[in-house]
Structure 1
Amino acid sequence: MARIDGAARLVIPEGAHTTSEPSLNALAQAAGDRFDPWQRQINRQALAVGDDGFYTARNVVMSIPRQTGKTYDVEWVAIHRAAQTPGIRIVWTAQHFSVLHDTFEDMCSRVLRPEMAYLVDHEHGISLAAGKEEIRFRNGSRIFFRARERGALRGFKKVGLLVIDEAQILSDSAKASMLPTQNRAYNPQTIYMGTPPGPRDMGEAFARQRTKALAGRAHSTLYVEYAADRDADPLDRGQWAKANPSYPTHTSEDAVLELLDGLTPDDFRREALGIWDEHATSSAIDQNQWDEATIAKRREGGVKSFGIDMPPDRSRLTIGACMRYDDNTAHIELAEYRDTNQDGTMWAVNLIDKVWEQTASLVIDGQSPATALLPDLAQAGVTVTVTNATDMGRACGRLQDMLRDGTLTHLPEDGQQPLWQAANKATTRPIGKNGLFGWNRPDDDTDISPLNAVTLALHGAMTTRRDPTQETETWF
């Protein structure tokens, strides 16, 4: 029976026929290393294949506290994959170079043992060039080590195994740039490993993987979570053991106490006890308030503003609109929502340019892929307000407050489906520690750019000092 001892939450894909875990275990043993039972159980499921020979777990997602041995385990998974699959390209990524370099040195120490000489040439098998660290195997396989910085994976193709370390700080843009590297690879697999993200972490991608798996919407994902009880006493050794399957055999009491002394109480709960924040899956929009704000037709008058946003994969471009009235009420709409693969993006610049003289403001968030439009908009003479994280947090709070107070309206679902879907599915993510939050995608299939766009338009409408003299009923 499929099981992983001690896991607080576990989702195992169906259809496993066999696994290469025994081969992995034999390789590590030959080099003098050993796995704990929980590590072997994870490996058994991670390396399971179906009758067709493909991995049943296309994605392996592990939320496991620090100092448990998860990196040690996945290092051997990568080495084994390279040894068993001639010519495979493996990429190991981490947010911080120091973490990545430590992993690189650790893996080098393993493959350079005398027992592994048949796999890696000691003289030519290791590249130490800064930023281009690499382990080359005699069979043509290669393990690349790259920090997640702009362009770090540019040019990589057919990556058979992608290991994403520090997944709790994996941004949407970084994920969007990495996953295409696996296009056209045979039987590819991605391993995400990290701890629960904190309020200042870009943890949306990792949180969505968890939400999707636990909701049963990720049929090719192995999800493993080790965590203490939500109300755990941070000094309770029994809870330490529940969260850390390597305590106390490999992780000492002193090691956990060092974390307790060095981390804030909240960070200790996340990083040492594996406890996810409750707000990670909180609903963004009160559906009753949203429904009550529906009107059949936007009323006349007011001054218009716009917001532009794109999802991380840049597949859509959204223009959100807001009409602000003299009584400080406002109305939001989805003005345009187009497929960039068909229409490109220049159409948005042209539409905004056409109505700019009658527009109070145009807003784009500084973290949005839509910032690519800034040079073209500037050339057209359009002044763009670029928001930061704090601005976005205040904008989202304003939209919620106005819905609650009955001072915000929007149109019925007919013709506004992308906005309604985003408002129905979006969750929230914390911004800083002052109660600010932003909209968050619950899964990779949900596009919240329409909600972001109207939120930005509302922000511009309520904060701009620009006052165009001409009013109009139409957006474009």
Structure 2
Amino acid sequence: MMTSEPRLSEIASHLIQPSGIVSSDFGKVNRIATACGISFDTWQKGVLYLLLSKKENGRYACGEGGLVLSSCRQIGKTFTLGTTAFILCIMHERLTVVWTAHHSRTSDETFNDLAALERHPQLGKYIERVRRANGQQEIRFTNGSRIMFGARERGFGRGLHSVDIEVFDEAQILTQSALDNMVAIVNTSPNPLVVFLGNPPKPGDQCEAFEDKRATALAGTDGMAYIELSADPKADLDDRAQWARANPSYPRRTSEAAILRMRNLLTDDSFRREALGIWDERDVAHAIDRALWQTTAVNEPDTHGLIGYAIDMPPDRSSLCIGGAIKHPDGSTHIEVRAFEDVKAKGTRWAVDWIAERWPKTAAVVIDAQSPAMSLLPDLKAAHVRPIITNAADMGRACGRILDQLRDGTLTHLPDDDQPALALAVKDAITRPIGSSGAVGWNKTGSDTDISPLVACTLAAYGLTVTKRNPDRKQKVMI
């Protein structure tokens, strides 16, 4: 067991630092903390040094990708980042910090901990007032700075602007959609910071954003800091040295009795995640078998049947894809990408015109409710197009149907050379769990992966199974 305070580099199972660091504001923060009787452990100092490290131009080194900290529970993440945010608000006038958790009880606890500093003999004088109304919890400082608290499950954060520091607590329960909705609130800050604090996700957690941040960091992406504190993946669950490696606050701040309680009450898998910070081994196999995909390619598809389309965009809105599908009378389906354009070069209005032109002979147009392509909905409706809006459960059914049809030989598509965007999406797509019933959706392997062509084609095929519209049906005329 470690007898002295370990350095961050000695205990982190993964420690990825942004390039170009020339200085850090941590020294200033630490001096104020020390003067006020607040002491950081050595590993905590390492985390804060990275968080507040700066490039030669004065901007934060991890300002582009943020700082991500994955660890076990009860390690002191909230204390470390919460007190630092408090001190930064003292140091800078009109600094705005947003602290958001998935559950309201978690954000409430953090708020209560930091609001208690109102009684601190040195720090309390910097607080102008504490607002305790539910949903509007806030610590306001005498210099105009403030820290706002709220729960994502209650919609907190949407509509905010001019935020300088954003902390995503419980980041293991953070959907990409929630991140998309909230990360833009720091866009107008001259030097923003975004922090993700979380534990290894358990099965069923909506963790795609946290998993994506981890995968992006481990792939070597610059501009972000990634810190993972955990025991060895194959650790003996009763090895106290592994407990100390995963939780550097053990045994000084986190007692042996506390960890033993978790050991006795949790399953082995849960103990690995909750007490040792070990991520579950993920099956990173491709979602679609390449050999099976190749065998279902056709050069001359059957074009007779109901026609459907779907529109999708990746989270960064860099491209826009229209997927197409044809449902044949025997139930088989053909899918293909009908249009795929760079949004920066061509915009998005073209897609509305494209769909509107074909609507009279179209059985279904689909957009997923969580897709950035939802921004086209008002224009589509103005063009008298009535899209089907799908949810997460629909996505699970849609992806499952594609996999079933591939195995059954009732799905066709064009050869990869004719559909490079779809081929690349199929090559890079993996699966993610949807809910706890075993349903899956498509997921990307990294931040630079665009699976929107596969999503669009999948939804286009699904739309034809639920639509009641048939443009080929002959209407009876009543006189």
* TM-score class, shorter: 0.7 to 0.9
Q: Contact between 2:104 and 2:153, CA under 8 Å: does it hold in 1?
A: no
CA distance in 2, matches of 1:330, 1:318: 19
Q: Which residue of 195, 199, 222 maps to 1:195? A: 199
Distance 1:49 1:25, change over 3 A: same
For residue 110 of structure 2, give the secondary structure of its aligned residue in structure 1: helix
CA-to-partner distance for each residue in 1:97-142, whole Å, 9 max, x for gaps?
A: 2111111111122354012245334xxx322233222222233322
RMSD: 3.2
Q: What are the Cα deviations for residues 425-465 of structure 1, in whole angstroms up to 9, with x where unaligned?
A: 22221123443211113333333222111112223345667
1:61 is aligned, of 50, 59, 68, to 68
8 A contact 1:422–1:451 mirrored in 2? yes
Structure 1 segment 12-411 matched on structure 2, within 5 A: 12-58=17-63, 59-121=66-128, 125-148=129-152, 152-217=156-221, 219-260=222-263, 263=266, 265-279=268-282, 281-313=284-316, 316-338=319-341, 351-352=354-355, 355-356=358-359, 358-370=361-373, 385-411=388-414
Compared CA separation, residues 406 and 184, structure 1 to 2 (3 A): same
Q: Which moved more, 1:171-180 or 1:429-438?
A: 429-438
- Return 5+ residue gaps in structure 1 as ranges: 472-476
Letter in 1 for 2:292: Q
Aligned-pair CA distance for 1:235: 4.1
Asked if 1:424 is matched to 2:431, the reply is no
Gaps of 5+ in 2: 1-6, 475-479
- Structure 1 position 93, deviation (Å): 1.3
Query: CA offset at residue 370 of structure 1?
Result: 4.6
Please say if residues 83 and 137 of structure 1, whose CA atoms lie closer than 8 Å, have aligned partners that are also in contact: yes
| Bigger Cα displacement from structure 2, 364-373 vs 393-402 | 364-373
Q: SS of 2:10's equivalent?
A: coil
The percentage of counterpart residues that share the same residue type is 45
- Aligned partner of 2:189: which letter? A
- Of residues 458-467 and 157-166 in structure 1, the stretch that sits farther from structure 2 once superposed is 458-467
CA distance in 2: counterparts of 1:261 and 1:369, whole angstroms: 45
| Residue 436, structure 1, aligned to residue 443, structure 2 | no
Deviates more, 1:259-268 or 1:97-106: 259-268
Q: TM-score, normalised by structure 1?
A: 0.86
Residue 31 of structure 2 aligns to a residue whose secondary structure is helix
The alpha-carbon deviation at position 63 of structure 1 amounts to: 0.6
SS of the aligned residue for 1:102 comes to: helix
Q: State how far apart, in whole Å, the 2-side matches of 1:79 and 1:282 are.
A: 44
Q: How many residues align?
A: 466
**Deviation readout 1:239-298 (Å, 9 max, x if unpaired):** 332322212221123323444456555443323222222237443233343344443343
Amino acid corresponding to residue 429 of structure 2 in structure 1: A
Letter in 1 for 2:414: L
Q: Judge conservation of contact 2:118–2:125 (CA < 8 Å) in 1.
A: no
Paired with 1:203 and 1:216, the residues of 2 have a C-alpha distance of 20
Residue 456 (structure 2) aligned to one of 453, 458, 461: 453
Tell me the CA shift for residue 394 of structure 1: 3.3
Task: Tell me if the contact between 1:82 and 1:142 (Cα under 8 Å) persists in the aligned partners.
Answer: yes
Q: Name the residue aligned to 2:3.
A: none
* Shift in CA distance, 401/154, structure 1 to aligned 2, threshold 3 Å: closer
* TM-score of the pair, normalised by structure 2: 0.85
More deviation, 375-384/253-262 = 375-384
SS in 1 for 2:217: helix
User: Which digits, 9 at most, give the CA deviation of each residue in 1:393-424, with x for residues without a partner?
Assistant: 23223323433554433224566443333223
Amino acid corresponding to residue 133 of structure 1 in structure 2: Q
C-alpha distance in 2 between matches for 1:379 and 1:54: 44
The CA distance in 1 between the partners of 2:90 and 2:383, in whole Å, is 56
Change (3 A) 1:48 1:357: closer
Give the Å deviation of 1:314.
5.2
Q: Which range moved further: 334-343 or 202-211?
A: 334-343
Name which of structure 1's ranges 199-208 and 353-362 shifts more when overlaid on structure 2. Answer: 353-362
| Residue in 1 that maps onto 2:4 | none
Moved more, 159-168 or 178-187: 178-187
Q: Which deviates more from structure 2 when the two are superposed, residues 77-86 or residues 413-422?
A: 413-422
Contact 1:244 1:273 in 2 (8 A): yes
SS at match of 2:287: coil
In 1, Cα distance between the equivalents of 2:266 and 2:375? Answer: 38
Q: Deviations over 1:202-258 (max 9, x none)?
A: 2111111110110102x1111000122333444443433232221222112332344
- Whether the 8 Å CA contact 1:280–1:429 is kept in 2: the answer is no
Match of 1:474 in 2: none
- Residues 199 and 431, structure 1, Cα contact 8 Å, conserved in 2: no
- Using the alignment, how far apart are the partners of 1:346 and 1:18 within structure 2? 45
Structure 1 equivalent of residue 477 of structure 2: none
For residues 223 and 213 of structure 2, the distance between their equivalents in structure 1, rounded to whole angstroms, comes to 11
Q: What's the CA shift for 1:165?
A: 0.7
Residue of structure 2 equivalent to 1:5: 10
